[in-house]
Amino acid sequence: MTTPPAFDPIAAGTSMLALPRTSILTDSQRDGAACPWCSELLAPDDRVDLGVRPGPFGIPIHPWACPGCVTAQARLAYAQHGRYCVRCQKDPTRCGVRRLWRRLALETRPAGGERT
């Protein structure tokens, strides 16, 4: 029997982050050379994989982002999630999605702990 792969909060969380409309992203943003939120060119050793996503005309895209933007987007999703989640409205400590957003925001903070 094989064991399931270890849970990766970054991969799980980043795949749920909403991107800007793919039709307005540049080619560099769609293929991972630039951040889809701030358009900053990305260094290979300092970027976060956002996973393969559906793109325009049915062609998949594979965006990457800077850690600061991922942290900011995760914090925003964390803050907004409780407004529409029934589980959060009853008991926010029991919501796995809310915990995932928080963990993603913490684990993608830029080095040095700067706040974004």
CA Rg value for the chain: 15
Length of the chain: 116
Instruction: Give the per-residue pLDDT at 116.
Output: 44
Dist CA 19 CA 111 (whole Å)? 23
Dist CA 13 CA 55 (whole Å)? 19
**In contact, 85 and 29? CB cutoff 8 Å:** no
Residues 6+ apart with CB under 8 A from 54: 22, 60, 61
Instruction: Give the per-residue pLDDT at 4.
Output: 64
Q: What is the dihedral of CA 78, 80, 84, 86, to 10 degrees?
A: 30
Instruction: Give the per-residue pLDDT at 95.
Output: 87
**In contact, 102 and 78? CB cutoff 8 Å:** yes
Question: What is the pTM assigned to this prediction?
Answer: 0.80
**In contact, 25 and 36? CB cutoff 8 Å:** yes
Give the chain's residues under pLDDT 50.
115-116
